[in-house]
Structure 1
Amino acid sequence: MELAVVGSAKGVSVSDAVFGREFNQDLVHQVVVAFRNAGRAGTKAQLTRSEMSGTTKKFKKQKGGGARHGDYRAPIFVGGGRAFAAKPRSFAQKVNRKMYRAAIAAILSELNRHGRLKVVESLEIEQPKTKELVGKLKALDVTRPLLVTESGSEALYLAARNLPYVQVRDVQGLDPVALIGADYVVITTEAVTKVEEWLA
């Protein structure tokens, strides 16, 4: 298949397996959840009754005082330990490399089908000026875009840094959360070739 290039009569030939793939909602959901979970710290820690500071002395006699208790660190008392205390853990989920690449290809294909994938010759700007980038985005008629280049340009990053809802990624930094979070994905022809090599 062929992707149209904005401002050019000539398109760019791409593989149907990457940009014409059928959308698999379950797969994309699984990969997105796994990607977001991998970023969770999982450092929550609570104390059990054995880890609490304080005396373990029995505070009343066994019989004759109602309920039988040992010490005030029991979970039943205010200020006591937790019965099922949360401990540091990993939220990571295993996702095969093949699944991850298939999910990225499915997202790109869906964006292409809905006209939300725009291919341009270049996104380079002469100076890191926000005004210059705003002019380019206005000409492309895109909102909340994700700009994808072959290798991240510092000038482009600096120009986009002050714009809300505008993200810049190189091909290596492309992830499913960034792709599904953007209204439009603007990608250069060089980046398209690199993405195809990566996902093929």
Structure 2
Amino acid sequence: MQIPHFSESNHLIVKSLFHHSDQELLTLFQRHPEHGKYFTAIFCRYSPIVFTLIRHSARSPVQADYLFALTWRHIFYELGGLDLRDDNTPGSNSFQNWLINMTAVCINQADLPPVESIHYNLKAAPPPFWCYLEQAMEKLPAVIRLMVVMAQTFHWSETRIAAYLQAEGEVISPAQVRTQLNQGYQLLEEALPDDIREVYLGGEAAHPERKSAVSTL
């Protein structure tokens, strides 16, 4: 399995941060949760190391990609409370060591589903985009979020979604489902950090698959 290349590493928003140290990027990430570029820069810096560790433990490329994404999602949520400022061990890279340890934890605790049950697409939803998309999904109204999941993950038609919701007591037609789905996609995009939207959706013509990235959640 080859180490994947991520085009976001070439985006000006991300490249402009490469001069920062690990500690600086971590601090910026923690202080500015409304921006996604700091986590993306960390991801671009360390994704080769993380993927190298993971590819030797997964049975298939599909499982490797999925475990890679799960590991970065775990890292994403752990970074918020990480404090390495007291680690003054000479000659050590405490952040890299922490990252390697987190990767090892994820590998050892992984209970991966069979390949045929994995719907994650690394190209459609690189881990930083996946993490912020997941956060954006949580901000959607509950009914609209359910519709989006039904449409994108389970590929249900508007008629089937309407029938399901009607059985649950909702008064809604297929046409209304279509309208609310379009509203949901708009809200979802607006809920993403501006820089994440620019990095991952700014060139939609080049990455049409990211429009359906919700299906990987």
Pair in the same fold by TM > 0.5: no
TM-score by length of 2: 0.24
More helix by share: 2
More strand by share: 1
Based on CA coordinates, which of the two structures has the bigger radius of gyration?
1
TM-score by length of 1: 0.25
